[in-house]
Structures are given as structure tokens and as C-alpha cells.
Chain A
Amino acid sequence: MRALLARAQELRRYPSAILGLAMICTLVILAVYAMATMPYREAVRLWQGGEGVWDENPRLAKPSWFNAFRKVKLPPTIVVDSAGRPETKQRIEFEEEGEADVLITLAFDYQYDVFPKELAVYLTANFEKVAPFASFIWRTPDGREFPMTSTSVRTRDSYRISQDRKLQAELGGRQPEIGLLAADPWAETPVPLKGRHELIVDGIVFEPGSDLDARLVVYGQVHGIAGTDHLRRDITVALLWGTPIALCFGLLAAVGSMSTTMVLAATGSWYGRWVDGLLQRLNELVMILPMLPILVMVGTLYSRSIWLMLGLIILLSIFGGALRIYRAMFLQTREAPYIEAARAYGAGNLRIIFLYLIPRIIPVLVPQFVSLIPTFVFLEATLSLLGLGDPTIPTWGKVLNDASQNGALFMGHYYWVLAPSLLLIFTGLGFAMLGFALDRVFNPRLREQ
């Protein structure tokens, strides 16, 4: 152990090791942050989406920091809610028992040169028997008014202004979010009118105590650190939670496969004879099995659980060239005089394998182990990209899969593809740089002059 530590000290001489370690540390911090701020269940719930989770997110919005590099700033999402803000609400009681007019004015100041992505109003009403009724009017800063639809309001209701075909027709075929906000909806290329836009919800309630609340969402063109996908999900969730999953997957797979390979190789070379023969034949057999097609087959026909995939990957990676290389190393080590001495003072087979053979080659394998981790991270991403990722878990590969299935590159949503790809490259690079440096430290023959 102390020898290992002494070697680790030597790492300081390699800038690539420092950089690699820093990158790995960044990833670990990111992973810890993800797990600390967002419990796993919460992450899964968010990623599964569902009713009401992502209502306020725009579809396919770019990351917010894009604005820092743009002359023409893109609008973020603006939410105006009447709940808890009595100043937006006016209630006029009618003469008839319980009936009242609820007038909600949702105003926002729009100062962007680009139109928002969408407009929607979310309504909540409380009533016992008779649902309230609401009609909507859009008022522009220059005083033009556009009457929109009228509808009865259920307990939770929404009115998607952007999808109102009638309104679109009245606006000369313009998308409502453009037509309503434009200075001149009939212009060749409409520009947004800056200033205070208002949505007036004119509601009538029919019962005493019945009330109505409205929330206007002006969907922006940018959202969060990583933008959103086609299901309005915040990609940040997947990028954040993808980190612990990727690291954990890579680490578990590397530890699992490498330690098993080591134990098998040590056992085979120590016992020799038929044990070794059997292991070698088995190894040759499994070596020719193609891993990816098998995983695809299991994923398609049986289950895509990440644990099953992990187990399968470990099982298939145990065998291969590594087993032969370790075996060769052990065959050399088993002839060492100290092993002979151990037998002479009565050490048993298991003790020799685990305490005398395996520790001898561990230093040699540390660099290999470090370099092995990202290959499994990539493998998991590959599986996800092929659509075989665990459907419940947000991972980098899943983001890539969604992006590719929704033509992200074709549609110009580069951010969607680049963020997870860069994280994967970052991971690979970090571990590779550390691994190479470790290789130089532990295998001095590779050391440069």
C-alpha cells in the first residue's frame, strides 16, 4: 500500500496527471452535487415528465448562456401569475346571489428583439357545481386589443394561445405568439413590439366563494444551463444525474470485470493443469462472442435494466485478451522464490492466490484499471444511443438518443448533442490522461528520456 502511495506522489511530476485528476475531481464534484441537490427519485420523476412537471419550460430552448455571445438577445421564459397577487385581480359582485365578474390582468414587459416560442395560459378554478366562464383579450403596448377565445374553466385548465387556429386566421395566418406581440402583424418580417403587453382574463363565477386564477407563460427561446428537449425537459437534469450514473457504471464495471479476471487468471495459473485448460478454453469461447449484438439482443428481448446490462457487460468483459495477459503475468509470478517460501511455511492455495499472487501484479494493473473506466462509460452511452438505455434513468447516452431521434443536428439544435458529447469526451480524456501518467509511473520502461 505504501509503495502505491509513494508512486502516487510521483504523479505530481506529470502535468497530464494533474489535469486528468482535476477533470475527474470535477466530475466527482458534479456527481456529488447532483446527488445532494436532487434525490434519485426526484431526478427520475423529473425525467419521466408527466402532468404539470415541465409546463413552464419552453420546447427545444437553447441554453441561457448563449445570450452572452449574441448581439440579439433571446428572451427567457416569462411567467405572470395572478395567484397570491391580489393587485392583478378585480372582483365585481353581481346583484344575483354569488355571481361575480373576476377580471385578471396579467401584464409583462417585453424588451426583446426576438419573438417568444409559445404563449399559454394555465387556469385554476374552484367551484362546486357550476364552472366559471372566461374570455381572453390581448392588449398590446400601443393599445390594440385582440379578443381571443371564450371558454368554461375546469378546476385545472389551460388555454394554449399558440395553438388557437381561429386566432391565427384572424392574425392573417401568423402564429399567435408572433401576431400578438408584433408591432405590425401584417408586415413582411414582423418585429416584436417592446413594452407592456397585457393579457386580460375576463372571468365570470357563478357561485359564492368560487374563484379563478390565471398564469400566463410566455415561453422563451432560452432555458437553464443546458436548454430543453422536445418534451420541455430540462436537459440539465440528465446531464447532472448522468454524471454519477456514468461514473458509477464505469467504476463498477471496471472493478467487477477486472477483479474477476484477475482472480480467474490467478486461480488458473496457480492450479495449472485442467483448471487452467478449462479457463483458457472458456476464455477462447467467450472471446469470440460479440458483446454489442448480445447486449442489443438482451435489451430488445428481455430487459433494459441498467443493472442487468451492467452484469452482462461485466460477465462478457471478464474474458478476453486481459485474462491471457494476466495469466502470463501470474505464470511468471508463481515461480517467484517468495511463493516457494510461502509454500514451505505452509501457506494454502487460497492464501497464495489472494495474498501473494494478486498483490504482486496490482501495481501493474492500476493504470489499466483507470483507463478501463471510460470504456465502460462509453459502452453505456453507446447502448443508450442505440435505444437500449434503462428507460427510467436519465443518462448522457439517453440525451444523445433523444437528440438523434428528433433530428437535433438536422434541425440545428447543436446544444442538445454537444453537451452530453462534451461530457463524455471530458470523462474519457480525464481518465485517459491520468491512466497514461500512471502507466509511466508504474511501468518505468515507458518513461520518456
Chain B
Amino acid sequence: MPEASNGNALLSVQNLQTWFEMRRWGFIRVGFVQAVDGVSFELKHGEAIAVVGESGCGKTTLARTILGLYPPTSGRITFEGREVKGSALRQYRANVGYVQQDPYGALPPFLPVQRILEEPLIIQGVRDPAERNHRVRKALEAVKMTPVDNFLSKFPHMLSGGQQQRVVLARAKILEPKLIVADEPVSMLDASVRVEILELLRELQRKSNLGVIYITHDLSTVRFFTERIMVMYGGKVVEEAPVKELLANPLHPYTRALLAAIPDPDPHNAEVQKEVPPGEPPSLLNPPPGCRFHPRCASLIAGRCDAKEPPIAEPAAPGHRTACWLYADGDA
């Protein structure tokens, strides 16, 4: 939601829209699924940002659009001052790593680890096999898969879930990117391995000054390593703030609901009913007018929330922005 991109930003996303066309019988346009609708943010070098939201809120689509897997319907993605488009895409891809949710699915099951890690190098034109081998070893060491020789010839199905995810991390890292997009990197792992992987990601980020976009639905892991957090709902960003600030002082009603939904380990609260917003996430094919959360919102202001999109406000602290009519001064 920052207004203008400054020169030293690593990645700048401006008013990004990713819409999918829906057709009936192959040619009659029914409408668009507005999976990502007007997202803007900026990421500095070495900064980690978390994108949270429930399933279907568009966070994975956002990640894929940023990775260049989906063409944006409109808006701009700028990487180190250059717009990511056409011929710039190839170079951009060498600078962006991707960590997926399902570690087993993310690795081609018919290739050994060595080859899996070599693939990006081959594609990006590293011709010398000795150099490739060297870099593969370095990457495996960086993700603490040692001794490296034990793993080089293994196939993905011979590795544990945690090891698989390390290989995925090593692959994301092997081209020495400046940005890593991690789409729920630990949600399919055992709790015991999660911390390990997150610590590893954190370490890699600090060491190589990586920018990280960390996508998750699990707020408890966010605190672990990101500085900033973006909350998405219905394809839009509803709140953006530094992590501590957001957890301490959530502004948007949706953020509050989300925080309230975090499982509480206190046994006294086991029987306490939590307040959960009624209804379901909106259909992105036919989003509600105005604020997309308004049909479920407890603090609905009739005639406003359901009519016009809320403006962005920064009412509490600098850098803590939200899009909600509750904080709008005047009727912007």
C-alpha cells in the first residue's frame, strides 16, 4: 500500500490484479474470478514479509503472480527498479526462489537429489559440470544436509519430509536469488520439523540478506521470523503492519477475528466458545460491493461498508495501515 516505490526497494508490487476468466462452453464469458485484486506492497532488501489469510483469500495466487507463473491482469511488479515483463522475466526468475507447500510434490520423483539441484543451474546456463557440482554441494551444506554424499544420489521418496523440504530450500537457494517466495513451507510438515525448517529459512535469509515473502494461514509461525505482516481477505489486503504492532493492536475486524481464532493452549478456555465471524469467505467470482468483509463484519456501518470500497488509513502507528471504514477520516 505504499504510494510510490523508492529506488532501493527489492520488489515493488503496485495495484496488482490477477483475474481468471470464467467461460461457459468454452466461449461464453461468465465473468472473472478476482483472485488478487489491487494489491500493492514493497519489500526491501533482506526484509521478510508475511502474507496471512484463510484458504481462498488469494495469497497463493499472489505468490504465483509474483513468481511470474500467472500473468498479472493489471498492475506492475518491479524488481530492483526494473519491471518484470517479457525478456526481463528470465533474469528475474534466476533471482527468485520458490518454496512450496508439499515438499514431496515439489520434487520430481524420478530424479536424484543431485540432478534436481542441478536443473536450475543447467537452465540458467551454468555449463561447467564441476561448477554445478560445487554449487550443489554448497547448497546442500547450507541447508545442513551433511554429509552431502549421502544425499546426492537419493531419490525424493527416500528422504523424510523434513529432508525433502531442505532439498526444496536448497533448490530455491541454488541460483543465489535475492528473493524467496515461501508458500506455506511448513504446513505439511510435522510440528517437530517445522521449527527446524523455519530456523533454516531464517538463517538463510539473514546470511544472504534475502527478501522473503512468507505465505501462511498460521499466525503462530509468523511471529517467528517476519518483520511485517499483510492480512489478505477476498483478494485484497485489509491490514498491513509490523508483526508486533499487528498482534498487539489489530485494527481491522477481520484481523481481530483471525487472531481470536488462534488455538489457545490454556486448558481453562477449552470450553469457551470463540467469536467467529458468521458466514463464509466471499465468492471471488462475484465479490460483494464495498468492503469485501462487510457481510460477515460485526462492526458494519450500513450504507458505507456495503457501498464503497474502504480507503486506506494509518490511524494508530506509522506503518500500520488498514482498509476499513471504521478508521476512515471523513468520507474519502
Contacts and interface: CB of A to CB of B under 8 A. Distances in A.
Interface of A: 2-3, 336-338, 340-348, 351, 356, 359-360, 362-363
A337 B101 contact: yes
B153 to A, nearest CB: 8
Given A3-B110, A344-B68, A345-B119, 10 more contacts: A2-B155, A340-B100, A341-B168, A343-B69, A344-B69, A344-B93, A345-B94, A345-B120, A346-B123, A359-B111
Contacts of A348: 123
A359 B111 CA distance: 9
Contacts of A344: 67-69, 93, 96, 98
B69 A347 contact: no
B108 A360 contact: yes
B120 A359 contact: no
B155 A3 contact: yes
Nearest to B67: A344
A345 B123 contact: yes
A346 B109 contact: no
B227 interface: no
Contacts of B67: 344
B90 interface: yes
Nearest to A345: B120
Query: What are the nearest 9 A-B pairs in CB distance?
Result: A337-B105, A345-B120, A344-B98, A346-B93, A337-B106, A338-B108, A359-B110, A337-B100, A344-B67
B110 to A, nearest CB: 5
B171 interface: yes
Contacts of B124: 345-346
B123 A341 contact: no
B213 to A, nearest CB: 13
A386 to B, nearest CB: 42
A346 B106 contact: no
Q: Which of A342, A345, A351, A363 counts the most B-chain CB atoms under 10 A from its CB?
A: A345
23 contacts: A3-B109, A336-B105, A337-B100, A337-B101, A337-B106, A338-B107, A340-B69, A340-B100, A341-B98, A341-B100, A342-B119, A344-B69, A344-B93, A345-B94, A345-B97, A345-B175, A346-B94, A346-B123, A347-B119, A356-B108, A359-B111, A360-B110, A363-B110
A426 to B, nearest CB: 34
A344 B108 CA distance: 14
B102 interface: yes
Interface of B: 64, 67-69, 90, 93-94, 96-98, 100-102, 105-112, 119-120, 123-124, 155, 168, 171, 175
A346 B119 CA distance: 10
A343 B181 CA distance: 14
A356 B116 CA distance: 11
A344 B112 CA distance: 20
A342 B119 CA distance: 8
Contacts of A343: 69
B53 to A, nearest CB: 20
Contact of B120 (A337, A346, A356): A346
Given A344-B96, A347-B123, A337 B102 contact: yes
A341 B106 CA distance: 7
Contacts of B171: 341, 345
Nearest to A340: B69
A346 B108 contact: no
A348 B124 CA distance: 11
Nearest to A362: B110
B74 to A, nearest CB: 22
B294 to A, nearest CB: 34
A344 B90 CA distance: 10
A345 B101 contact: no
A423 to B, nearest CB: 37
A356 B108 CA distance: 7
Nearest to B26: A277
Nearest to B91: A346
A340 B155 CA distance: 19
A263 to B, nearest CB: 17
A348 B123 CA distance: 8
B100 A351 contact: no
A346 B125 CA distance: 11
Contacts of B105: 336-338
Given A344-B68, A346-B94, A351 B110 contact: no
Nearest to A338: B108
B231 to A, nearest CB: 25
A336 B111 CA distance: 15
B11 to A, nearest CB: 15
Contacts of B102: 337
B147 to A, nearest CB: 20
Contacts of B108: 338, 342, 356, 359-360
Nearest to B125: A346
Given A3-B155, A337-B101, A351-B123, A345 B110 contact: no
A362 B111 CA distance: 13
Given A346-B90, A346-B93, A338 B123 contact: no
B100 A345 contact: no
Contact of A338 (B64, B69, B106, B120): B106
Q: Which of A337, A340, A351, A363 counts the most B-chain CB atoms under 10 A from its CB?
A: A337
Contacts of A359: 108, 110-111
Contacts of B69: 340, 343-344
Q: Which of A344, A351, A362 counts the most B-chain CB atoms under 10 A from its CB?
A: A344
Q: Which of B108, B111, B171 counts the most A-chain CB atoms under 10 A from its CB?
A: B108
A336 to B, nearest CB: 6
Contacts of A346: 90, 93-94, 120, 123-124
A336 B103 CA distance: 11
A362 B120 CA distance: 23
Contacts of A3: 109-110, 155
A348 B90 CA distance: 10
A363 B105 CA distance: 17
Contacts of B112: 2
Nearest to B90: A346
B304 to A, nearest CB: 41
A359 B97 CA distance: 24
B229 to A, nearest CB: 24
A328 B67 CA distance: 27
Q: Which of B102, B106, B110, B123 counts the most A-chain CB atoms under 10 A from its CB?
A: B110
Nearest to A6: B155
A72 B112 CA distance: 68
Nearest to A4: B110
A7 to B, nearest CB: 12
A29 to B, nearest CB: 32
Contacts of A345: 93-94, 97-98, 119-120, 123-124, 171, 175
A348 B120 CA distance: 11
